[in-house]
Amino acid sequence: MADSLPLRWLYLDLNSYFASVEQQMNPALRGRPVVVAPVMTDSTSAIAASYEAKAYGIRTGTKIWQAKAMCRDVVIVPGRHDDYVRFHHKVIDEVNRHVPVTNICSIDEVACRLMDNENSPAAVAALATAIKAGLNANVGECLTASIGVASNRLLAKMAADMKKPDGLTILTEDIRRARLERLPLSDIPGVGRAMEKRLAAAGLVTMAQLLAMSPAQARGAWGSVWGERLHRQLQGHEVADVETQRRSIGHSHVLGPEKRQLPVARLVARRLVMKAGTRLRRADSRAGWLGLFVKGEVRGTKWKAGVKLGQVMDSISLVEAMEGLWARMAAEFPHRRLLQVGVVLAELTPANAAQADLFDSNALLCARTDAKRLALSEAMDRMNQRFGRDAVTLGHHDGGATRSRGPAIAFTRIPELAEFHE
């Protein structure tokens, strides 16, 4: 019955978030086509585009040189990720004034669970209007949001995508199926091109087909229980979240033209692994594996490899492991100019869960070395937190030639403000 599936979730999706923050901070950019780039070079790609830029076909991932060809008036600005995080916190504070934020889904998306006294269509319409007005008055007039309301979080997110920018879609049970059937399967979060091809091979090409399936058939089409879980959510039901834990910590950096030679790129990689090490210690974890990956300046050229670690958490051990991988890369990878470098720490365990090998005669020595290295790394963390990024570092210091503007934002992970001092 229709009243058995009440409206339970409000999902807020900020519109063209990075570009909107830039326009908010710089009034001269308002009303103009703006593209945010990781570094100021034509060979990199847009990480955000304002709606004025989108009108010319520019999207996230568009090469900067292409964006300039598509719109002669486009304004390219470098990403200022610390500002995006600060505005993110302002947005969270504002939404909390109207309804408690239940989940922070990404840097520009939040979900709020609705109570029985606030989930009628009229009540949620009034709530959404109040949130939008609050964002305009207290965060910034350039910060608009599309809001979706539905019986579960997935449907609320899909509803928020149905009308952009600055939209409101209330997906009540009586219109749910009709509205969903208009959508392509790619509008389901998590369904990319590879999954679309897989579903098409199984004969599933439309949303109407998916909605008509049984849960077991959906599970078979997906090849996993996720198909069944998704099917139930599309039918309007709530499905309990699967508890997840952090599996890795990583950083990558797109190199400007002045940083692409191997010696300078190596210093960037050292910086990245030290940043990852600081995050590792903040999470009170140890890493059992370190990976290094690079992209060459020549399109399509890549190299990656990893090395086992002895469940470490100090920067000295991590840099030593990275240097070994770098030497291997320099010997195996034929390209001398790099476009991107990245590091990742994996096989994470709680710091107090690591145990020494009882049969290792060097265990005591290793424990002492580990303690000394960890104490030094933690002291460096404190100094950099107090005096700024790179106040204290290991070995090489180039006066800022390899210094980045701070951590970049993966949309599903919001950096802590402390990371901008690392």
Catalytic machinery residues:
109
3-state DSSP assignment of residue 103? strand
Which two structure tokens, joined as six digits, stand for 244? 């997840």
**Which amino acid, residue 225?**
V
Rounded alpha-carbon distances, angstroms, from residue 321 to 28, 32, 292, 307, 352:
47, 46, 10, 7, 22
Q: Which helix (H) or strand (E) holds 363?
A: helix 363-387
- Annotate 226-270 with DSSP letters as a single string: HHHHHHHHHTT---PPPP----EEEEEEEPPGGG-BHHHHHHHHH
How far is C-alpha 383 from the geometric centre of its chain's CA atoms?
28
Show Cβ contacts of residue 70 under 8 Å, excluding neighbours closer than 6 positions.
56, 57, 58, 62
> Contact, 8 vs 50, CB < 8 A?
no
Of how many residues is the chain composed? 422
How would you label 171-198 residue by residue, b for 16+ Cβ within 10 Å and e otherwise?
Answer: bbbeebeebbeeeebeebeebeeeebee
What is the distance between the alpha carbons of residues 248 and 404, in angstroms, rounded to a whole number? 21
What is the distance between the alpha carbons of residues 287 and 266, in angstroms, rounded to a whole number? 21
Q: Which helix (H) or strand (E) holds 149?
A: strand 145-150
Which two structure tokens, joined as six digits, stand for 401? 């030639």
How far is C-alpha 276 from the geometric centre of its chain's CA atoms?
15
Secondary structure in 3-state letters for 163-186: CCCCCEEECCHHHHHHHHHCCCHH
